[in-house]
Structure 1
Amino acid sequence: MKKSILFIINPISGGKDKKHFPSVAERYLDKDKFTPRFVFTARSGHAYELALKAVEEGTDFIIAVGGDGTVNEIASAVQGSRSAMGIIPCGSGNGLALSLNIPLNHRKAIERVNLLRASPIDTGILNGSYFFNMAGIGFDAHISHKFSNMTSRGFLGYVKTAFSEIVKYKSGSYRIEVDGKNYDRTAFMISIANSPQYGNNAFISPTALLNDGILDVCIVKPFPLALFPAVVLRMFTKTSQYSKYLEIIKGRNIRIVSYDHTRIHLDGEPGEAGKEISISVKPSSLSVLY
């Protein structure tokens, strides 16, 4: 019996035109296995609404065709249900897709969907909102806010924004509680990693696993500005964990009190959280094709 599959397409993610994506998918999707449908999003939050309706209708597979924000919206609707999610990566970072080794090429990504190979991954929860790849407070959250207002996006735009903002950014003071143990830290940023990387193969916590029921609290300590390129290089060489400027604490229940910064990001999407953040993990709650 054929499986129902819905492709939810963000037409503007990654600055790439996707009006022809349905014809590409029709060409390479295994029609003996699937009965496909295609829908384009029209606004922020629309992908979540469409995915939630598809879950309620009992759709077997719901595919995110977009970037990390689109993936987050759809995964937030699919997690905890009997539906499974797939990803056709089309964003600036594609963090979760790369962590799952999903090809960036559309044809190859669709061929992965044809394999019907799924695995459960964990869901992170921050003050009631979900994340699946990475959440954070501090510099990366600051950049996500700046980046969201840019008309020209993409990896190079992100890098340019980071370099222009770092010279004026001030580290913050935090009280961090992980599984009942307290830490007082001054931090440039704190990333909560469900996967090893932010995206673009920039690894903040190379030992993080998507399905271990644990989150990695990655505390990046203040460092001399001249060492910023070296800090970034460590991420791209999977050696971040060896830096004296990075501390990683693994845990399941996390509480962060910020004395300076209230901006956060969830899978790269900006938000506000107030002074106190509560974070937990929901193990093996989302089935993902890979």
Structure 2
Amino acid sequence: MPEAKKLKFLFAINPISGGQDKSEWEVGIHNFFEKHPHTVELFLLDGKNDNEELPKQIALHQPDRLVAVGGDGTIKFVAEHALNANLPLGIIPAGSANGMAKELNIPATLEESLEIVVNGLAKPIDLICINGTEHCLHLSDIGMNAQLVKYFDEGKIRGKLGYARGALRVLMRRRLLKVRISTGNEEVLRSGFMVVLANARMYGTGAIINPDGDVADGKFEVVVIRQLSLLAILRMFIHFRPFDPKHIEIFPATSVHIVTKRKAYFQIDGEYRGKIREITAEIWPGKLRVMLPHLPE
């Protein structure tokens, strides 16, 4: 039997994602690789000079795979560098919600997710390119959820309690958006509480926004949340129930241009991006390779 190829892995670790110390994860990674012939390097992100330092680490270590350890924001950041370096992306879910990992069926435990990083399959997934400069792996949105992301980031309380407090602030300040949506095939005017660019099916909380979403189908969906009662909002944001299909409208698209009547909150993959009045987006099919579980026989 031929000897297994020895690989180099570079782990980019957010040490405080999800409000938890990751020092035990670092030990766990080293312990896991003691039984493998591969080389592993760890790089701790500090939120200051990561955009300059991570490419230096990639150039120094020349890894075969780049691995993100953190939540959706960390995964998005590291994915950008994996894309630039033409490297497969590994994912170790270590955030508070881990929406992208759930979407890709990556287990939450360190041992199981490391097994996929090492022995999984590198499969291409789509990206949504936004305004020609940023990429969305998962879900971006305008309106209420982006406002919630902003409030959560500003708060000092993490976890479900911090999320619930942010949700209550959103409830008190919610306003309808008036938007013009142009997909190339059609142009519509709509009023709603949220407009979502969905490359996937659900938020990290488990709330399903786009039931037929697929990260590798060569398109994305523009989802308009048109009506929300107070009860529906509480169910959605606090109890994490699925969105009521009677209150949403879905437009499949490969590109879109959205204009809002007034400035609205905007987020990309859980990262707040400020207020906007206009965005453009287009699908980049199969642009990013991600280490994923083998399909069952």
TM-score of the superposition, structure 1-length normalised? 0.91
1:123-168 CA deviation, whole Å, 9 max, x = no partner?
Answer: 1111121110011101111111111112222233213311332122
Match of 2:101 in 1: 97
Alpha-carbon distance change, 184 to 108 in structure 1, aligned in 2, over 3 angstroms: same
Match of 1:256 among 255, 258, 263: 258
Show the counterpart of 1:221. 226
Q: Which residue of 1 aligns with 2:114?
A: 110
Q: Confirm or deny: 8 A CA contact 1:51 1:62 kept in the other structure.
A: no
Aligned match of 1:285: 287
Matched, 1:157 2:162: yes
Greater CA drift, 219-228 or 11-20 = 219-228
Q: Is the 8 A contact 2:207 2:236 kept in 1?
A: no
Q: Deviations over 1:238-267 (max 9, x none)?
A: xx4x62210111101101001123321010
Structure 2 matches for 1:1-290, cutoff 5 A? 1-29=5-33, 31-44=35-48, 46=50, 48-56=51-59, 58-79=62-83, 81-127=85-131, 128-231=133-236, 236-237=241-242, 240=243, 243-272=245-274, 274-290=276-292
d(CA) in 2 for partners of 1:33, 1:174: 55
Q: Percent identity at matched positions?
A: 29
Q: 2: distance between equivalents of 1:24 and 1:209?
A: 32
Please report how far the alpha carbon of residue 181 of structure 1 lies from its aligned counterpart in structure 2 after TM superposition.
1.1
Q: Which amino acid aligns with 1:108?
A: E
SS at match of 1:104: coil
1:63-110 superposed Cα distances (whole Å, 9 cap, x missing partner)? 111111111101112125431111111112111111011111112211
Gaps of 5+ in 2: 293-297
SS in 2 for 1:203: coil
Q: Residue 102 of structure 1: SS of its match in structure 2?
A: coil
Aligned residues: 286
Q: CA separation in 2, counterparts of 1:123 and 1:203?
A: 19
Contact 1:55 1:78 in 2 (8 A): no
- The 2-side partners of 1:53 and 1:170 are apart by 44
CA distance in 2, matches of 1:82, 1:49: 17
Task: Give distance in 2, aligned partners of 1:49 and 1:155.
Answer: 33
User: In structure 2, how many angstroms separate the alpha carbons of the residues matched to 1:40 and 1:262?
Assistant: 34
CA displacement 1:219-248 (0-9 Å, x = unmatched): 0013222332455699645xx4x6221011
Whole-angstrom CA distance in 2 between matches of 1:179 and 1:44: 39
Q: Which moves more between the two structures, 86-95 or 53-62?
A: 53-62
Quote the offset at 1:60 in angstroms: 1.1
Change (3 A) 1:198 1:49: farther
Moved more, 224-233 or 125-134: 224-233
Measured after TM superposition, the shift of residue 53 of structure 1 is 3.5
**Using the alignment, how far apart are the partners of 2:33 and 2:140 within structure 1?**
33
Asked if 1 retains the 8 angstrom alpha-carbon contact of 2:167 and 2:238, the reply is: no
CA contact (8 A) 1:142 1:264 kept: yes
Letter in 2 for 1:277: I
User: Which amino acid is 2:64 matched to?
Assistant: D
**Ranges in structure 1 where 5+ consecutive residues have no aligned partner:** none
Give 1:187's aligned amino acid.
G
Are the structure 2 counterparts of residues 249 and 5 from structure 1 closer, same or farther at C-alpha, using a change threshold of 3 Å?
A: same
Note if contact 1:13-1:91 (Cα within 8 Å) is conserved in structure 2. yes
Residue type at the aligned position of 1:181:
E
